[in-house]
Amino acid sequence: MERTIHNPWTWQEQFGFEQGNEVRSESRTLYCAGQTPVDADGTPQHGGDMAAQILLALDNVETVLRSGDLTLADVVRLNIYVTDIDLFFEHYGVMAERLALAGCRYTGSLLEVSRLAMPGVLVEFEATAVA
Protein backbone atom coordinates (compact mmCIF):
# COMPACT_ATOMS: atom_id res chain seq x y z
CA MET A 1 0.00 0.00 0.00
CA GLU A 2 1.19 3.49 -0.82
CA ARG A 3 -0.29 6.32 1.21
CA THR A 4 0.03 9.99 0.31
CA ILE A 5 -1.01 12.65 2.80
CA HIS A 6 -2.67 15.75 1.32
CA ASN A 7 -2.47 18.85 3.51
CA PRO A 8 -2.82 22.07 1.52
CA TRP A 9 -2.68 23.95 4.85
CA THR A 10 -0.81 23.50 8.13
CA TRP A 11 -3.44 24.50 10.73
CA GLN A 12 -4.64 20.89 11.15
CA GLU A 13 -1.25 19.84 12.55
CA GLN A 14 -2.11 21.37 15.93
CA PHE A 15 -5.12 19.02 16.09
CA GLY A 16 -3.30 15.88 14.96
CA PHE A 17 -5.26 14.97 11.83
CA GLU A 18 -4.80 15.10 8.06
CA GLN A 19 -6.93 16.82 5.42
CA GLY A 20 -6.65 13.91 2.99
CA ASN A 21 -5.34 10.34 2.82
CA GLU A 22 -4.80 8.94 -0.66
CA VAL A 23 -4.34 5.17 -0.76
CA ARG A 24 -3.03 3.35 -3.85
CA SER A 25 -2.32 -0.28 -4.74
CA GLU A 26 -3.96 -3.55 -3.99
CA SER A 27 -5.09 -3.40 -0.42
CA ARG A 28 -7.66 -4.59 2.01
CA THR A 29 -10.01 -2.32 3.92
CA LEU A 30 -11.60 -2.86 7.31
CA TYR A 31 -14.67 -0.72 8.05
CA CYS A 32 -15.24 -0.72 11.79
CA ALA A 33 -18.61 -0.23 13.39
CA GLY A 34 -18.82 2.62 15.86
CA GLN A 35 -16.86 1.71 18.97
CA THR A 36 -17.97 3.03 22.34
CA PRO A 37 -16.68 2.73 25.91
CA VAL A 38 -18.21 -0.65 26.70
CA ASP A 39 -16.77 -3.77 28.32
CA ALA A 40 -16.60 -7.21 26.68
CA ASP A 41 -20.27 -7.79 27.54
CA GLY A 42 -21.39 -4.52 25.89
CA THR A 43 -22.03 -2.71 29.17
CA PRO A 44 -21.20 1.03 29.12
CA GLN A 45 -18.34 2.01 31.43
CA HIS A 46 -17.02 5.20 33.05
CA GLY A 47 -20.28 7.18 33.24
CA GLY A 48 -19.63 10.91 33.06
CA ASP A 49 -15.84 10.51 32.60
CA MET A 50 -15.03 11.68 29.07
CA ALA A 51 -11.28 10.96 29.29
CA ALA A 52 -11.82 7.38 30.48
CA GLN A 53 -14.53 6.85 27.84
CA ILE A 54 -12.21 8.10 25.07
CA LEU A 55 -9.48 5.67 26.13
CA LEU A 56 -11.79 2.67 26.44
CA ALA A 57 -13.48 3.41 23.11
CA LEU A 58 -10.02 3.58 21.49
CA ASP A 59 -9.14 0.28 23.19
CA ASN A 60 -12.21 -1.19 21.52
CA VAL A 61 -11.21 0.25 18.13
CA GLU A 62 -7.81 -1.39 18.56
CA THR A 63 -9.41 -4.70 19.49
CA VAL A 64 -11.42 -4.73 16.25
CA LEU A 65 -8.34 -3.68 14.26
CA ARG A 66 -6.22 -6.43 15.82
CA SER A 67 -8.85 -8.99 14.83
CA GLY A 68 -8.07 -7.97 11.25
CA ASP A 69 -4.30 -7.93 11.87
CA LEU A 70 -4.27 -4.12 11.70
CA THR A 71 -3.27 -1.30 14.06
CA LEU A 72 -4.19 2.33 14.66
CA ALA A 73 -1.39 3.22 12.22
CA ASP A 74 -3.52 1.66 9.45
CA VAL A 75 -6.51 3.92 10.16
CA VAL A 76 -7.14 6.36 7.31
CA ARG A 77 -10.51 7.70 8.47
CA LEU A 78 -11.79 8.25 12.00
CA ASN A 79 -15.18 9.82 12.58
CA ILE A 80 -15.82 10.96 16.13
CA TYR A 81 -19.29 11.39 17.60
CA VAL A 82 -19.68 13.13 20.96
CA THR A 83 -22.61 14.27 23.05
CA ASP A 84 -20.76 17.34 24.37
CA ILE A 85 -18.13 18.87 22.11
CA ASP A 86 -16.86 21.30 24.76
CA LEU A 87 -16.31 18.44 27.21
CA PHE A 88 -14.59 16.46 24.48
CA PHE A 89 -12.17 19.31 23.75
CA GLU A 90 -11.31 19.49 27.46
CA HIS A 91 -9.95 15.94 27.06
CA TYR A 92 -8.82 16.10 23.42
CA GLY A 93 -5.18 15.69 24.42
CA VAL A 94 -5.87 12.18 25.73
CA MET A 95 -7.01 11.06 22.28
CA ALA A 96 -4.47 13.08 20.32
CA GLU A 97 -1.53 11.71 22.32
CA ARG A 98 -2.71 8.11 22.01
CA LEU A 99 -3.21 8.37 18.26
CA ALA A 100 0.10 10.19 17.70
CA LEU A 101 2.03 7.54 19.66
CA ALA A 102 0.38 4.85 17.53
CA GLY A 103 1.34 6.61 14.28
CA CYS A 104 -2.30 7.21 13.37
CA ARG A 105 -2.57 9.84 10.63
CA TYR A 106 -6.28 9.97 10.00
CA THR A 107 -8.85 12.08 8.21
CA GLY A 108 -12.30 12.37 9.70
CA SER A 109 -15.09 14.38 11.15
CA LEU A 110 -15.99 15.44 14.68
CA LEU A 111 -19.72 15.68 15.24
CA GLU A 112 -21.79 16.61 18.29
CA VAL A 113 -24.98 14.57 18.50
CA SER A 114 -27.90 14.80 20.89
CA ARG A 115 -27.30 11.25 22.13
CA LEU A 116 -25.60 8.01 21.27
CA ALA A 117 -27.15 4.53 21.19
CA MET A 118 -26.58 3.69 24.86
CA PRO A 119 -27.43 5.89 27.85
CA GLY A 120 -24.35 7.44 29.44
CA VAL A 121 -22.10 6.98 26.42
CA LEU A 122 -20.37 10.27 25.61
CA VAL A 123 -18.13 9.28 22.68
CA GLU A 124 -18.09 6.90 19.71
CA PHE A 125 -15.32 6.27 17.17
CA GLU A 126 -15.96 4.97 13.66
CA ALA A 127 -12.73 3.87 11.95
CA THR A 128 -11.70 2.76 8.47
CA ALA A 129 -8.32 1.05 8.13
CA VAL A 130 -6.41 0.11 5.00
CA ALA A 131 -3.44 -2.23 4.65
pLDDT at res. 59: 98
pLDDT at res. 12: 92
Classify residue 90: in a domain, yes or no: yes
Contact, 28 vs 53, CB < 8 A? no
β-sheet bridge partners, residue 130: 29
Instruction: Count Cβ atoms below 10 Å from residue 87 Cβ, excluding itself.
Output: 15
- The C-alpha atoms of residue 40 and residue 96 are separated, in whole angstroms, by 24
Classify residue 47: in a domain, yes or no: yes
How many structural domains does the chain have?
1
Classify residue 22: in a domain, yes or no: no
Which CATH number fits the domain that encloses residue 63? 3.30.1330.40
The model carries a pTM of: 0.88
Mean per-residue pLDDT pooled into runs of 10, the chain (131 residues): 88 90 86 94 96 98 94 97 98 97 96 96 97 91
- The C-alpha atoms of residue 25 and residue 23 are separated, in whole angstroms, by 7
pLDDT at res. 24: 85
Instruction: Give me the domain span that covers residue 114.
Output: 2-6+28-130
